[in-house]
Amino acid sequence: MDVLQELETRREAARLGGGEKRIAAQHSKGKLTARERIELLLDDGSFEEFDMFVAHRCTDFGMEKDRPAGDGVVTGWGTINGRLVYVFAQDFTVMGGSVSETHGQKICKIMDMAVQNGAPIIGINDSGGARIQEGVASLAAYGEIFQRNITASGVVPQISLIMGPCAGGAVYSPAMTDFIFMVKDSSYMFVTGPDVVKTVTNEHVTAEELGGAGTHTKKSSVADGAFENDVEALAEARRLIDFLPLNNRQKAPVRPFFDDVNRVEESLDTLVPDNPNMPYDMKELITKLADEGDFYEIQEEFAKNILTGFIRMEGSTVGVVANQPMVLAGCLDIDASRKAARFVRFCDAFEIPLLTLVDVPGFLPGTSQEYAGVIKHGAKLLYAYGEATVPKVTVITRKAYGGAYVVMASKHLAGDFNYAWPTSEIAVMGAKGATEIIHRADLNDPEKLAQHTQDYEDRFANPFVAAEKGVIDEVIMPHSTRKRVCRAFASLRTKQVTTPWKKHDNIPL
Amino acid sequence: MFKKILIANRGEIACRVIKTARKMGIKTVAIYSDADRNALHVKMADEAVHIGPPPANESYIVIDKVMAAIKQTGAEAVHPGYGFLSENPKFADALNAAGVAFIGPPKGAIEKMGDKITSKKIAQEADVSTVPGYMGLIEDAEDAVKISNEVGYPVMIKASAGGGGKGMRIAWNDDEAREGFQSSKNEAASSFGDDRIFIEKFVTQPRHIEIQVLADGHGNAVYLHERECSIQRRNQKVIEEAPSPFLDEATRKAMGEQSVALAQAVGYTSAGTVEFIVDGDRNFYFLEMNTRLQVEHPVTELITGVDLVEQMIRVAAGEKLPFAQDDLKINGWAMESRLYAEDPYRGFLPSIGRLTRYRPPMEEATPTRAVRNDTGVFEGGEISMYYDPMIAKLCTWAPDRATAIEEMRLALDGFELEGIGHNLPFLAAVYDHPKFTSGKMTTAFIEEEYPDGFEGVTLDESACQRIAAAAAAMHRVAEIRRTRISGRMDNHERHVGDDWVVTLQGASHDVTITADRSGADVSIGGQSLRVESDWAPGDPLARLMVDGAPLVLKIGKISGGFRVRYRGADLKVHVRTPRQAELAALMPEKLPPDTSKYLLCPMPGLIVKIDVSEGDEVQEGQALCTIEAMKMENILRAERKGTVKMINAGAGDSLAVDEVIMEFE
């Protein structure tokens, strides 16, 4: 009886974390507690906790007098819509969620389990940082977590939810996970905080400006999305998990869908405007191709000239990369290349087929791009597409110019299906620029130049030259694109590719 | 009968005329500008002729170009639609000279009725009741004051060539008469190139009621009863109906007979409309006669069964009217809603762009109900800046007014329209307004009931409960689908519960669902509502039966629930488990970002000029800048006193919605 009594008492104490007062403080900041967050993240009643009674072993600075059960992190596993996931949630009410040796060990334990059993790891970060009293033991804990992040990378999906502070070395664990989501106004991430920044550089900056959700989703691209509050962030994390395979040996999940595979969208026939210089919204195409118009966008607020995210076709996940003509004419630049490259590599690592929608006038010119290394960054996207062995379907809607054409999942980078709309123009560059080079002698004769431009347009402002050479598999009508793409992916379900042995590649980082 | 006719118009009216012509076995020719290359009327017509660049004054209203198209195609007659060349005597002349029939009235009638002063004189001579007023031209401001006193205040000062509210002022005293005369005159001169002004009695509690007439070339003329068009915004009709809820049999007959008398007095043939203003005591006064087919003609067709376009064509071909006055009875009630590409949440500013989704309710006609949708657009089409921003005319018919209104509410709920701002929520709100449903509206309805513009509506408790029940049932279905994903841990699947908390319009509703094969019983607020629907997750439109009554909701995606559009409301509806709801209640309420320090561009458009400079102190209501959109110049004014801190745009800049034009300190 005594043991049962003690078990109950200990459990109660553990569940209370840092106590009612600290829970109230956490709530007053608009934040939920670690356990509440796990409750919202997982299916009702599915959470099974590990290491509830683990306590730290530090004896310095009087720490031995305060050994709360769980040591500032709640770990375990459960299900999301019936599918296995592993989770850890740092508990800010217990010693500020600071990372001790044992805290780290708890996280490592479930990470090891996740890799062994092939299930995603979801980390909820809300921590003041290292437990300073423990010194190097705390840093070691971080190091152990980092190593596991790296081992797990490409094996199981890793998702980080930043729901409070995440500063200093702690940022590098989320940084190595596949997706980072933040909560607006109550989370921040930085390597050095505002105080240090002020001392060292004399810059005055708030925590929110330095590392808030806005900063990381719009400027730094560290985070992949930002949500209004904890409840929304956790609901959207569930939604993301529904798109992802549990590990790299599984196909992406399939779920029942209520959409017509053969759905015809007549309105797509007028999506591309008559005037080649007029923009249009590529998101309309994505949502009209997707099952039920559902598009889970990744990095929506960053490098808006390229769109990345997940849709479903016939109920199974497809990763979409699309140039967005509404922003910077849809050109590729450093940010767009980095954003899309990382997304493509994630999809390839986890067997998620890739759909690429192309309307690209080229790479953004200028010293700022060249000095910042657009060559290497642009190469990342080229490389990512070229090494990807997942099913690759590409649809050119309008412009596909120059090197950017090759980069955007062209036939030459082992594209499986390369379709073009009748409005597509596949050429080295726009007609005007091309003419000025080919017919340099006539530069001072506007009439002749206009004629040359017209000739060039007649020759290349259509998909037929490319189709004649077989680099476009077929010219398809916009209204039947959904059906054609669905069929293409269906035919690629058994795709197999062998590549030469290598230890690993050497992507231009 | 003609073998081929040309329609000298575009948009819905061109499509409307083509439909009837096709029914009569007549070939049709469309004309189109560059902007209309892919337009619906071009696709519908047997032939189409390109007639120039987008602006109407370089294409649709250039008589020579239209005449060339007639010659090229060999059309024997021309239907002008409304607007453009429909009331242009020169066009009638040109057709006459070319020996082509004009499907409309004789040129003489157009001319006589085209001028407000002449038409009023003719009306008086034909014993048509006219508004007391001074028919002569007014010399100067003092003359205006003298005449105003003779007519008696309040008076209306109007431009002779006016229309659409331009050059119109109301004066309640001498000062206002003096001022009104001058501004009317200036406006008339700049808008119409004709600064003649007249003054008449201003009618109180006015209702706009008009009589449809039809006359043939054999001396027969009839009236097809009235239409009430009192729901107007800035003199632009928004909702029309037939018959009028206000007229009695005697007034109807008197108005009809006077209208026929007027038509005969000017030798009218074809379809025409005599507009009256009717005061609170059912005194009616002649306003003007429109010598063309009216936009709102479908409501008359729905209650009389007469195809007005067909009769116009037959009359133009010399046929006799196939009916006499006694044959024309009023059958049931018809409502018409004009869907405009105008954003009601932004002061009805025009909204142009691509219709990413356009799914009108299905047209049908049965003995107990009818839905009709006259349109010239299609999904994927463009609402262009060059023409009238009307998207469609949605009509419903039923045996009585209340049912016709209910049919309209359902039709609007089921009308899917995305990509541009539009007035559908506003229309829906009017159909729920007690003053409208009781039929007690005047032409001031919108001004009086929505003085500060439209900000959506608040639904009552019963509507909220019905929506909450529907949302819970739909959410449950969507959640169950999520549990059917592949890769589950066998035997450890997620179980979706029956208890939910639905939050909308700031209130929470506890809901329990008992589902069966054909639907669900949803207990909410102490009652049980039966919810049945074939809605599937992802459907943007949910047609449900809730407790035996239809409920049609437009469904959008938001985290943890649905965006629901219903009637005039646009709601965020969250559906959560009780525990989720408990935790969600802990989340801080976040206020939308404060934009009061910014002047944001309210519509896509071109900056014509900036009226202030950085550092200027501005007063409330002061003009800040002018934006041109859809050929309309819109002046943006300061909402409060302040100082201009920074100006981010200049004349000639083309801006998108919500771009910052200037910042205040």
Report the Cα B572 to chain-centroid distance in Å.
27
How sure is the predictor about B466, in pLDDT bands with cuts at 50, 70 and 90? Answer: very high
Which segments in chain A show pLDDT lower than 70? 1
Q: Report whether A217 contacts A226 (CB < 8 A).
A: yes
Question: Residue B591, exposed/middle/buried by CB under 10 A (0-12, 13-18, 19+)?
Answer: exposed
Res B583 pLDDT > 90: yes
Q: Would you call A301 an interface residue with chain B, using a CB distance cutoff of 8 Å?
A: no
Ranges B334-348, B566-580, B645-659: which has the least confidence: B645-659
Q: Chain B closest CA to A235's CA: distance in Å?
A: 7
Residues of A in contact with B493 (CB under 8 A): 82
**Does the pLDDT of residue B19 top 90, yes or no?**
yes
CB distance A17 to A23 below 8 Å: yes
On the 0-12 / 13-18 / 19+ scale of CB atoms within 10 A, A336 is buried
Say which of A43, A259, A274 has its CB closest to residue B538.
Answer: A259
Residue B147, domain CATH: 3.30.1490.20
Interface mutation vs chain B, best among A258, A287, A291, A296, most B CBs within 10 Å: A258
Q: Is residue B28 part of a domain?
A: yes
One domain, residues B46 and B148 = no
pLDDT given for residue B213 in this prediction: 97
Q: Residue B187: pLDDT band by 50, 70, 90 thresholds?
A: confident
* Claim to verify: residue B614 and residue B658 sit in the same structural domain: yes
Q: Which residues of B touch A292 (CB under 8 A)?
A: 537-539
Residues on chain B touching A478 (C-beta within 8 angstroms)? none
Q: Which residue of B has its CA nearest to A269?
A: B380
- Is B63 inside any structural domain? yes
The number of beta carbons lying within 10 Å of the beta carbon of residue B232 is 20
Under 8 Å between Cβ of A151 and A190 = no
Cα(B391)–Cα(B337) distance, integer angstroms? 11
Which chain A positions have a beta carbon within 8 Å of B539's beta carbon?
258, 292
**Mean pLDDT value across chain A:** 94
- Residue A283, min C-alpha distance to chain B (Å): 11
Dist CA B141 CA B185 (whole Å):
10
Tell me how crowded residue B139 is: count the other CB atoms within 10 A of its CB. 12
Per-residue pLDDT, averaged over B407-429, amounts to 96
Calculate how close chain A gets to B380, using CA atoms only, in Å: 4
List, for residues B66-116, the tens digit of each pLDDT value: 999 999 999 999 999 998 999 999 999 999 999 999 999 999 999 999 887
Which of B446, B469, B501 is the last residue before a domain boundary? Answer: B446
Q: Is residue B284 part of a domain?
A: no
Dihedral sign from CA coordinates of B112, B113, B119, B123: positive
Tokens of B470: 């529907």
| Domain that includes residue B407, residue range | 334-446
Per-position b or e across A364-391, b if 16+ CB within 10 A of its CB: beeeebeeeebeebbbbbbbbbbebebb
Q: In whole angstroms, give the CA distance from residue B91 to residue B592.
A: 55
Residue B623's CATH number? 2.40.50.100
Residue B590 pLDDT: 81
Based on the fold, state whether residues B465 and B580 are members of the same structural domain. Answer: yes
CB contact under 8 Å between A232 and B559, yes or no, is yes
Nearest CA in chain B to A186: B588
Vertex B567 angle, CA B561 and B568, to 5°: 95
Angle CA(A365)–CA(A369)–CA(A374) in degrees, nearest 5?
Answer: 100
Per-residue model confidence as pLDDT tens digits over B104-143: 999 999 999 988 778 988 999 999 998 887 767 788 888 8
Q: Is B37 on the interface with A (CB under 8 A)?
A: yes
Query: What pLDDT does residue B598 have?
Result: 86
Rounded (5°) CA angle B206-B212-B217:
145
Q: Which residues of B touch A253 (CB under 8 A)?
A: 485-487
Q: B27 with B66, same domain?
A: yes
Q: Is A270 on the interface with B (CB under 8 A)?
A: yes
> Do residue B520 and residue B580 come from a single domain?
yes
Phi, psi of A115 (to 5 degrees): -70, -45
Residues A79, B537: C-beta atoms closer than 8 Å: no
Q: What is the pLDDT of residue A1?
A: 65
Decide if A484 touches B, using CB distance below 8 A: no
Which residue, B584, B606, B638, sits at the end of a domain? B584
Nearest to B13 by CA among B438, B377, B482: B377
Are both B515 and B552 inside the same structural domain? yes
- State yes or no: is B288 an active-site residue: yes
B467, B572: one domain: yes
Per-residue DSSP letter, B399 = S
Please, how many CA atoms are within 13 Å of residue A37, restricted to the half-sphere of its CB? 34
What's residue B161's pLDDT?
72
Instruction: Give B476-507 pLDDT, tens digit per residue.
Output: 999 999 999 999 999 999 999 999 999 999 99
For residues B348 and B418, state if they share a domain.
yes
Q: What is the mean pLDDT of residues B209-236?
A: 95
H-helix or E-strand spanning residue B557: strand B549-558
Determine the Cα–Cα distance for residues B127 and B119; give it in Å rounded to an integer: 12
| Interface list for B 489-518 with A (CB within 8 A) | 489, 492-495, 497
Catalytic, out of B241, B288, B296, B406: B288
Chain B residues inside the 8 Å CB shell of A39: 579, 583
The answer to whether A479 contacts chain B (CB < 8 Å) is no
- Is residue B273 in a domain? no
- Please indicate, yes or no, if residue B302 is contained in any of the structural domains: no
Mutation choice for A interface testing from B33, B382, B477, B485 by most A CBs within 10 A: B485
Distance CA B234, CA B199 (A): 20
A229: chain B residues, CB-CB within 8 Å? 587-588, 590
Nearest CA in chain A to B541: A292
Mean pLDDT of chain B: 92
Probe site for chain A from B42, B481, B482, B574 (most A CB atoms < 10 A): B482
Per the CB < 8 A criterion, the answer to whether A337 and A380 are in contact is yes
Helix (H) or strand (E) run with residue A428 in it: none
Q: What is the pLDDT of residue B164?
A: 58
pLDDT tens readout for residues A347-396: 999 999 999 999 999 999 999 999 999 999 999 999 999 999 999 999 99
Q: Which residues of A461-488 are buried (b: 16+ CB within 10 A; e: fewer)?
A: bbbbebbeeebbbebbebbbbbbbbbbb
Establish if B636 belongs to a structural domain. Answer: yes
Query: Hey, are the CB atoms on A266 and B590 less than 8 Å from each other?
Result: no
Chain A from 416 to 445: CB within 8 A of any B CB: none
Query: For position B526, which CATH number holds?
Result: 3.30.700.30
Closest of B48, B49, B5 to residue B25, by C-alpha: B5
8 Å CB contact of B488 and A40: no
Partner-chain residue, chosen from B354, B494, B537, that has the shortest CB–CB distance to A258:
B537
pLDDT for A135-180, tens place per residue? 899 999 999 999 999 999 999 999 999 999 999 889 999 999 999 9
How far apart CA B321 and CA B333 sit, in angstroms, is: 24
DSSP B236-264: EEEEEEES-SS--HHHHHHHHHHHHHHHH
Give first-to-last CA distance, chain B, whole Å: 71
Tokens for B116? Answer: 């407000």
pTM: predicted TM-score of the whole model, two decimal places: 0.90
Residue of chain A with shortest Cα separation from B589: A30
pLDDT, tens digit (0-9, with 9 covering 90-100), for A244-255 = 999 999 999 999
Predicted confidence band of residue B163 (pLDDT cuts 50, 70, 90): low
A-B contacts at Cβ under 8 angstroms: 119
Residues B97 and B8 in one domain: yes
Average of pLDDT values for B640-657?
A: 83
- Provide the pairing of β-strand B166-171 with B155-163: antiparallel
When scoring A83, A183, A230 by the number of chain B Cβ atoms within 10 A, the one with the most, hence best to mutate, is A83
The answer as to whether B65 is a domain residue is: yes
**Selection from A449, A451, A446, A455 nearest residue A427 by Cα:** A455
Q: How close does chain A come to B223, measured CA to CA in Å?
A: 42
For residue A40, list chain B residues with Cβ-Cβ distance below 8 A.
Answer: 580, 583
Whether residues B435 and B468 share a domain: the answer is: no
Q: Which residue of B has its CA nearest to A45?
A: B494
What is the distance between the alpha carbons of residues B291 and B271, in angstroms, rounded to a whole number? 7
**B576 and B479 together in one domain:** yes
Write out the two tokens for A352. 């998620």
Q: Total domain count for chain B?
A: 5
With b meaning 16 or more CB within 10 Å and e meaning fewer, what string describes A74-104? bbbbbbbbbbbbbbbbbbbbbbbbbbbbbbb
Mean pLDDT, residues B551-576 taken together: 96
Measured between CA atoms, the residue of chain B closest to residue A183 is: B587
Tokens of B19: 């439909």
Query: Of B584, B614, B629, which closes a domain?
Result: B584
Partners of A188 in the β-ladder: A165, A212
Rg (CA), chain A: 26
pLDDT tens track for B616-642: 888 877 888 888 765 567 778 887 788
Q: What residues form DSSP beta bridges with B500? A: B511
CATH code for position B363: 3.30.470.20
> In terms of domains, do B88 and B157 share one?
no
Best probe of the B interface among A255, A269, A280, by most B CBs < 10 A, is A255
Q: For residue B243, is it within any domain?
A: no
What is the average pLDDT across B511-526? Answer: 94
Rounded Cα–Cα distance for residues A264 and A478 (Å): 9
For A152-284, strand residue ranges (E) read 158-162, 165-167, 179-183, 188-190, 225-227
Q: What pLDDT does A437 receive?
A: 85
Nearest to B488 among A82, A239, A291 (CB): A82
